[in-house]
Amino acid sequence: MKIWLERESAKPIYLQIRDRISRLIKSGVLQPGDRLPSIRSLAESLQVNKLTIIEAYNVLEADGIISARQGSGYFVNSVNRSSANLKSTFAPVQNVIIPEQGRSSFFDMYTATVEAQTQPGMVNFGCGFPHPPKDIDLIARRALRQTPDGLFKYDLPQGQLTLRRQIAQMLIQQGMEVTAENLIVTSGSEQGLSLALQYYLQPGDWVIVETPTYFGALASLENLGAKIIGIPMTAQGMNLDLLEKYLKSHRPKLIYTISALHNPTGITTTQAHRQELLALAEKYECPILEDNAYEGLTFEPAPAPIKAFDTQDLVIYLGTFSKTLMPGLRVGYMVVTGKHFHNILERKLLHDLHTSTISQAIVSEYLASGHLRRHLNRLRTENLHTRDAMLAALERYFPQEARWTVPKGGLFLWVQLPEHTPIQTIRIEALSQNVLVPCHSVFFPDRKGYPAMRLTFTPSPEEIEQGVSVLGKLLKKYLCTKIAS
């Protein structure tokens, strides 16, 4: 492989190397699966430092063009040639849900999905946890060596300054104007969600959510005694016409939304949708809680968060490393601006004093070393492959009446099923065949909603094939029975 370098150019050498290798791949000179020269051999042939080659390979890996295989070197990524239909067919009936009395299933849902992880042979379509990084032990040991004494003392409730600065830089790249002084590090985004809801809402207050939505948020709202208005999702996001109608009629105290890789549907809203939603919030003076736990797993560049357009301190933004690194670290963050910051920080102090210093140090080391960027690229590549495997399996095995979303990242897609589908019966029979599907009703405020399935595509392609095949046969069996009767 020949690479010509312009030593006098203002462009850094590592970027010249990146550009040349990228052109060789795109032109077909380097084919998917080809092994790139080793770091040492390429450094010697180009007469550059090995660190220059490492940086060039790191950028190529972050671009999704190559990937590292432990002990084997760097290889050209395979071109995605999925035959799956990449057009969403999701189109539910637009019914607003206002339940009389909520009843949470959060505990049952959470424990069932966690316990399923330990059951051998179980195809778990309910568990939305990422594959952990392979180098976690190395990074953890390095983090503990940095400042061992400081890790075992009480810390600031808003989190370690170094980590907050790193998160701020990460969010700036997403389009937000944020500093470390606007950030509160939390014990996962679940704590941030709880803090924000408790800050804005009192028992009896109206709150708007998307339907379907994250079941943990519904559980928290019901526990607070809030009165929920469920605005239906369209293929583009929350129905904004219905949103304005209920903003005007009920004057809610908060809008809860997931703008990127929505849980459970996987939908990512456009910039126009986000700006229109914010304009409505400003018109009716209603705060927004933007919960984007999966934003780091997008397959393609996403619009800036709603918070990026917020000039009136109406939006609180939630993020987390639970979906990108590992849930067990319990490190999330809140972007809070204006007068709200100090009040929420005081609530955080009363919750837990501070987030685990050791977990913060591990995340900080990931960010400082560049390992997170490479890890995210690997996750995105794996998730894109398994998403397409699931879409192809759905086309093969599911009945024609089923409709589903095509997420641009994340861990889930949402299957909308015909009315009167006996979903609970199908879930029970599927579980008897070692296929776990979460109960669809937990994603709706009234615990009913339309029949649907939230399916995670984190299992292997083989497990996806097996599980979707079982579900497809059961759906066809019961839908045919329904038609015949």
| DSSP designation for 236 | T
pLDDT of residue 134: 76
Mean pLDDT of the chain: 90
Closest CA relative to residue 277, chosen from 298, 256, 297, 300 = 256
pLDDT of residue 483: 52
Say how far apart CA 264 and CA 113 lie, in whole Å.
Answer: 15
Residues of the chain with pLDDT under 50: 80-81
Say how far apart CA 281 and CA 304 lie, in whole Å.
Answer: 17
Q: What is the pTM of this model?
A: 0.83
pLDDT above 90 coverage of the chain, percent: 65
Q: pLDDT tens for residues 425-475? A: 999 999 999 999 998 999 999 888 999 999 999 998 999 999 999 999 999
Q: How many CB atoms lie within 10 A of CB 434?
A: 17
Say how far apart CA 460 and CA 382 lie, in whole Å.
Answer: 9
Q: pLDDT tens for residues 92-102? A: 999 999 998 65
Q: In this structure, is the dihedral angle defined by the CA atoms of residues 255, 258, 263 and 268, taken in order, positive or negative?
A: positive
Task: Give 325's contacts (C-beta < 8 A, 6+ positions apart).
Answer: 130, 132, 133, 136, 331, 363, 366, 372, 375
Q: What would the two tokens of residue 332 be?
A: 């999330």
Q: Which residues pair with 315 in a beta bridge?
A: 288
Could you tell me if 389 and 464 are in contact, meaning their C-beta atoms sit under 8 angstroms apart?
yes
pLDDT of residue 59: 81
pLDDT of residue 81: 46
Q: Give the helix/strand (H/E) hosting 254.
A: strand 254-257
Which amino acid, one-letter code, is at 349?
L
Q: Give the helix/strand (H/E) hosting 238.
A: strand 237-238
Say how far apart CA 126 and CA 109 lie, in whole Å.
Answer: 9
pLDDT of residue 146: 72
Task: Give 475's contacts (C-beta < 8 A, 6+ positions apart).
Answer: 398, 399, 402, 417, 421, 426
**Residue 448: CA count within 13 A, CB half-sphere:** 10
Q: pLDDT tens for residues 108-131? A: 666 766 776 667 789 999 887 777
How many distinct helices (H) and strands (E) make up the chain? 15, 15
φ and ψ at 433, to 5 degrees?
Answer: -105, 25
Q: Give the helix/strand (H/E) hosting 211.
A: strand 206-211
Closest CA relative to residue 55, chosen from 25, 85, 15 = 15
Task: Give 102's contacts (C-beta < 8 A, 6+ positions apart).
Answer: 218, 221, 222, 228, 445
Q: pLDDT tens for residues 197-242? A: 999 999 999 999 999 999 999 999 999 999 999 999 999 999 999 9
Closest CA relative to residue 65, chosen from 29, 21, 28 = 21
Say how far apart CA 358 and CA 140 lie, in whole Å.
Answer: 9
Say how far apart CA 23 and CA 190 lie, in whole Å.
Answer: 44
Which amino acid, one-letter code, is at 176?
M
pLDDT of residue 234: 96
Say how far apart CA 277 and CA 236 lie, in whole Å.
Answer: 12
